[in-house]
Structure 1
Amino acid sequence: MAFSINQAFGIFPQALQLESKRAELLASNIANADTPGYKARDIDFKAALQAAQGQGGSLPLTRTSPEHMEPAGLSATNPPVLYQQPLQPSLDGNTVDLQRNQAAYGENALRYQATLTFLGSRISGLRKALTGQ
């Protein structure tokens, strides 16, 4: 039976990349909470993780003509960035809901730490299997 390190780690490396990208976007939103005209951005974590696993529910894109653009592949390093819909728009055009973004950032940090813990336990298990201890 062949051993694959990718199968041993599962989805955890892709989850770490997505959580890191989401942390960047949420931190940018929080930093620009008072910037007039700033549009808050985020990613759909669940959809992006499914796309990274190859389980996206959408149909695959194909080129029907050589003049068409190449379809962009979705991955953990290239998730689709979406704009957040504000619950109450501000007069200056800023769409950042500071409390919502701070809560999302905290939740994302918790997920990131949990993913690191799971990945660490997988590595520990592999180390024990290899050394026999």
Structure 2
Amino acid sequence: MSIEISATQALAEKALNYRAARQDMISSNIANADTPFYKPRDVRFEDALAIEKAKVLNKNNPKLQMAQTNSAHIAFKDEQSSLKAKTFFRDGHMARNDGNSVDIDVETTEMSKNSIMFNALVNAIKKDTGIYRSVIDASSKVS
């Protein structure tokens, strides 16, 4: 169980989880580079993260509820609450004779980009936590 230090910490933690899931997906693509008829998969989480960001950073903005004037009307379904990262097949690469379309160069490039973003998120969380830790340490020294 983690303690929420700032409003953006939960958002950063979700982003870390999404980045870890993407790393696993890319690793799976590389592992299946020789599997016949394998199509590389990827995960798109930017849309879900943008909605989560809006929720976290706009807590003071009240949400306008939709009125239901008749009980026979279809009830409103909040599509945003069920948003999750979407898995898709990566297109655009020529399939080999065995039907496999994994391009190792593309996969290793995507893995490197994802690793850089993951490490940047980890460093941002450490810095955010460090700021609050230094304030607590400084306040404990004041008598």
TM interval, shorter chain, is 0.7 to 0.9
Structure 2, unmatched stretches of 5+, are 56-73
**Given that residues 93 and 102 in structure 2 are in contact (C-alpha distance below 8 angstroms), is that contact kept between their aligned partners in structure 1?**
no
Judged with a 3 Å threshold, the aligned counterparts in structure 2 of structure 1 residues 10 and 30 are, in CA distance, closer, same or farther, namely same
How far 1:49 moved relative to its partner? 2.0
Identify the residue that residue 40 of structure 1 maps to in structure 2: 40
Residues 108-127 of structure 1: pairs in structure 2 closer than 5 A:
108-127=114-133
If the length of structure 2 is used for normalisation, what is the TM-score?
0.69
Runs of 4+ in 1 over 6 A off after TM superposition: none
Which residue identity is paired with 2:27? A
Larger Rg: 2
Tell me the distance in 2 between the aligned counterparts of 1:48 and 1:27: 22
Identify the residue that residue 74 of structure 1 maps to in structure 2: 83
How far 1:74 moved relative to its partner? 2.0
Count of residues in correspondence between the two structures: 115
Identify the residue that residue 5 of structure 1 maps to in structure 2: 5
1:31-72: CA deviation from partner (whole Å, max 9, x where unpaired): 1011001121101242242243357xxxxxxxx48xxxx998
If the length of structure 1 is used for normalisation, what is the TM-score?
0.74
Tell me the distance in 2 between the aligned counterparts of 1:45 and 1:107: 15
Structure 1, unmatched stretches of 5+, are 56-63
Judged with a 3 Å threshold, the aligned counterparts in structure 2 of structure 1 residues 97 and 48 are, in CA distance, closer, same or farther, namely farther
**Given that residues 29 and 102 in structure 2 are in contact (C-alpha distance below 8 angstroms), is that contact kept between their aligned partners in structure 1?**
yes
Identify the residue that residue 26 of structure 1 maps to in structure 2: 26
Tell me the distance in 1 between the aligned counterparts of 2:138 and 2:23: 38
1:80-110: CA deviation from partner (whole Å, max 9, x where unpaired): 1111103212222212111101100011011
The answer as to 2:93 corresponding to 1:87 is yes
Judged with a 3 Å threshold, the aligned counterparts in structure 2 of structure 1 residues 38 and 51 are, in CA distance, closer, same or farther, namely farther
Bigger mean CA offset, 85-94 vs 45-54: 45-54
Which residue identity is paired with 2:15? A
**Given that residues 30 and 101 in structure 1 are in contact (C-alpha distance below 8 angstroms), is that contact kept between their aligned partners in structure 2?**
yes
Give the superposed CA RMSD: 2.5
